[in-house]
Amino acid sequence: MVDAVVLGRVSAAAPSSRTVCQHQRDAGGEACSYAPMPRWTAEEAATTTELSPSVVASLDESFAISVLAGPDEGKRIVVAPGMPARVLAGTSPACDLVLADRLVSRRHIAFELSRSRLRVTDLGSRNGTFVQGLLSGDVYLRGGEMIRLGETVLRVETLGAVPAPELTPAVRFGKLVGASEEMRRLYPLCDRLAASSVPVIIEGETGTGKEVLAEAIHEQGPRAAKPFVVFDCTAVPPTLVESALFGHERGAFTGASDSRRGVFEEAHGGTLLLDEIGDLEIALQAKLLRAIQRSEIQRVGSARWIRVDIRVLAATRRDLEREIQAGRFRDDLFFRLAVARIELPALRKRRGDVTVLAHHFWQELAGKRVPFPPGFAERLEDYDWPGNVRELYNAVARRVALGEAAPIETSRPQPAPPAPGSIPPPPSSTASPPSLATLAAAAGATESAASTTDVVEETLGMDLPLARARERVVEEFERRYVQRVLAQHGGNVRSAAAASGIARRYFQILRARRAAPGEP
């Protein structure tokens, strides 16, 4: 079942009233009376929770854990007072010691410093943890012991006393890195949300790390061993979104030669991230609401309801409350998802993280043996980062690849001048959408713009309802687009899908749906 527990914040000014959805029964469900949790910003978080220190200042002993045998032989990590409270080992990329051993669980064991000793805790692994040959669940070590996880053997060594540092809050949550006050204030909330299964809306500008945070919430929660599925609402053509979400049965539409599962079924037992949900067409939002509210979906072309057990997270760069006022987003879907809300600050609002992130990316890209270049951090801090963390990562990657000659700013090439006789693109994002003839020319279609216009004129002469007329024109354009892109790439579906900017699976669905009689 999709959990629907409301998380409230401890605050004297917390509202007691609930907002009742206007579309109470549009999706076939019961009346919705969710009160969305207010957006949790870095500033507000400080007023409702205290920061939990990540280290224990009284400890003065550090330990090294080395991989003596197994697929990762030679790996080594250190557990010291200056590190987060728990150091994890397992096959999950979110762990501190990532192991490739197929017999090791995703989050197998945790190491903690406790009373000058190293505490080792089995996290419910499939194959158990053996310390000195004995099956162990929770033990304290002093150094020199051997630990076996599956086919991997670890050795624990003491590194002696080190000066105890001052208390420092955690600088990361999963793969989300940030040492600034703005980020540290969010980590306690993220920890609490990870332990539950409630829906969460993650808001923030493009490139701030919304998907990274969503994956971290999944990896730190009870569903970590289950699938984490991301569905980008902007990456699939509108005509294919319903099939992509809920799946379809054989024969449901032209070209549907097999039955296919949608992302709801793919994520069964785990977590589904609906990325850029603010861009989802409002016509599909009612079906999405029912799927989340009833924990059941219906494939396209089927009368059978299928139960699903998933946690739903949503991410958006849009202001959903403004989208509701504009009539582009359903308020009942918003209230269903907004049990908890997290706003990730833009990088320009947490400049203290620029250097921390740059060092993190440098080690990831160049390795620890290549020193961080002097003066590079100062150049990075002088830039405004409109592309946020994603742009910073690219800047570090350019420096690793090109050296000192690499620019900080992302180059933004100007569009090439239009070919003679072609129709220029619209001057801005607020202008009218390009005509079908313009789209056909941009796709490099072999048919001329005039022939595309003929399809429009022919459709207009059929006296069809608007929805069916538009569908007919779009179908013809998509068919020609697929034909042309495939021809340009020698029939290679993978290359054609990449050039089209959509997933290969959806390109194949589009190809099958738009194939003319006799076409493969």
pLDDT by residue (tens digit) across 308-318?
Answer: 999 999 999 99
pLDDT at position 95 = 84
Looking at residue 416, what is its pLDDT? 54
Question: Taking all residues of the chain, what is their mean pLDDT, rounded to a whole number?
Answer: 77
pLDDT at 412: 52
Residue 2 to residue 294: CA distance in whole angstroms: 8
Q: Above 80 in pLDDT, residue 42?
A: no
195: three-class secondary structure by DSSP: coil
Per residue in 119-149, is it b (16+ CB within 10 Å) or e — as a string?
bbebbebeebbbbeeeebeebebeeebebbb
Sorting pLDDT into bands at 50, 70 and 90, what band is 212? very high
Q: What is the pTM of this model?
A: 0.52
Supply 423's token pair. Answer: 């129709």
Helix (H, G, I), strand (E, B) or coil at 50: coil
pLDDT confidence of residue 515 = 64
How far is it, in rounded angstroms, from Cα 512 to Cα 520?
A: 8
Predicted local distance difference test score (pLDDT) of residue 230:
95
Complete domains list, the chain, with CATH? 61-161 (2.60.200.20), 173-343 (3.40.50.300), 347-405 (1.10.8), 436-513 (no CATH)
Count CB-CB contacts under 10 A for residue 163: 7
Sheet holding 138-141, edge to edge: 97-98, 87-90, 109-114, 117-122, 138-141
Q: Per DSSP, which regions of 162-253 are E strands?
A: 172-173, 176-177, 200-203, 228-232
pLDDT digits (tens, 9 = 90+) for 126-174: 899 999 888 888 888 888 899 999 999 999 988 754 333 333 446 888 8
Identify the weakest region by mean pLDDT among 130-134, 274-278, 455-459: 455-459
Give the pLDDT confidence of 195-208 residue by residue, as tens digits. Answer: 999 999 999 999 99
The pLDDT of residue 481 is 85
Which of 48-52, 187-191, 260-264, 490-494 is predicted with the least confidence, judged by mean pLDDT?
A: 48-52
- If pLDDT is split at 50, 70 and 90, which confidence band does 417 have? low
